[in-house]
Amino acid sequence: MSYILILGTILLGLFSLHKDWHNYKHPRVRKAVALVLIIVGAISFIKTYRDNRNAQITNTKATAAINTLQSEVAGLQGQVKAANDAQTRNTTLFLENFNRLSDKVRDLQTKAETEGLRKQLASVQSDLQSTQKAMAPGPKAKLTFSFVPFVIPPPHHDLVPVTDVKLPAASDGSVHVEFTVVNRSDANALNISLTLVICQGCKFAKEPAGYQKILGDKDTHRWMSVRALYVREFFRAMSVDIFPPTAEPFMIGFQYRCETCADDTTSNFGTSNFGTVHVIRDTSNSKPAMEKNPS
């Protein structure tokens, strides 16, 4: 299109020159005007050709650069996918090995007979859990203690734990307590190490089902392992029979660790892992003192 415009302009100039040919008094002037028109036209053709040529070269280079970038992006996306796939496989393999080693450590913890061995095993367990936490970024799970029963919430609603109850004492003075563990967080709790903790001065009336006493641990602690507790899920109801030290309220709760849990999970009776039991004692069998008959 640009060439047509230039050619049209030259032809129009030559036509005007031919039309006014006799108005020019000197033949050299007529020839000079014609020559200028031809030279200007030629220069315009050459300039337009060069501009179009440079534009084509620029477009070609830009297209090549864009294609190269697209190829690099596609390659990078492939590398990311391959890395993610490899990471998934590595994570799965790591978790399998981690579970196997954790089971071995827990088994040895129940059999360790010296304080030195127990400390070494605790250090190994801590290193394993630290490594696992580094492999599991993102939201951290946090577990909550609750007495049973509690109100089952409707779908998509959070469960409100029960942390204060009144329970009767049996004839032997023991109190039967039912409780559970709730995952109210937005992360799955995996490979949970759960330690049941009763108050200082409390005693277990009998060994709680599913728990075991770790050699060397406190008499007020009992331990169990839970494979997983998923988001917004609660564990089955558990129970324990306790001899409280006095008629005053006493506390019961748990300590826990897990692969995907937050780090502030081991404090005794923390803000989310304890409950209070108020003991109701039967006083109907107590007899008032006999009054003396007046003499």
* Tokens standing for residue 48: 């337009």
What average pLDDT does this structure show over 159-164?
91
Cβ atoms of residues 223 and 169 within 8 Å? no
Cβ neighbors of 49 (< 8 A, separation 6 or more) are: none
**Which pTM was predicted?**
0.51
List the Cα angle 212/216/220 in 5-degree steps: 60
Cβ atoms of residues 21 and 30 within 8 Å? yes
Beta bridge partners of 141: 261
Q: Which of 89-98, 164-173, 266-275 has the highest mean pLDDT?
A: 164-173
Cβ atoms of residues 277 and 251 within 8 Å? yes
Tens-digit pLDDT profile for residues 237-287:
999 999 999 878 999 999 999 988 877 555 544 445 899 999 998 766 544
What average pLDDT does this structure show over 230-238?
92
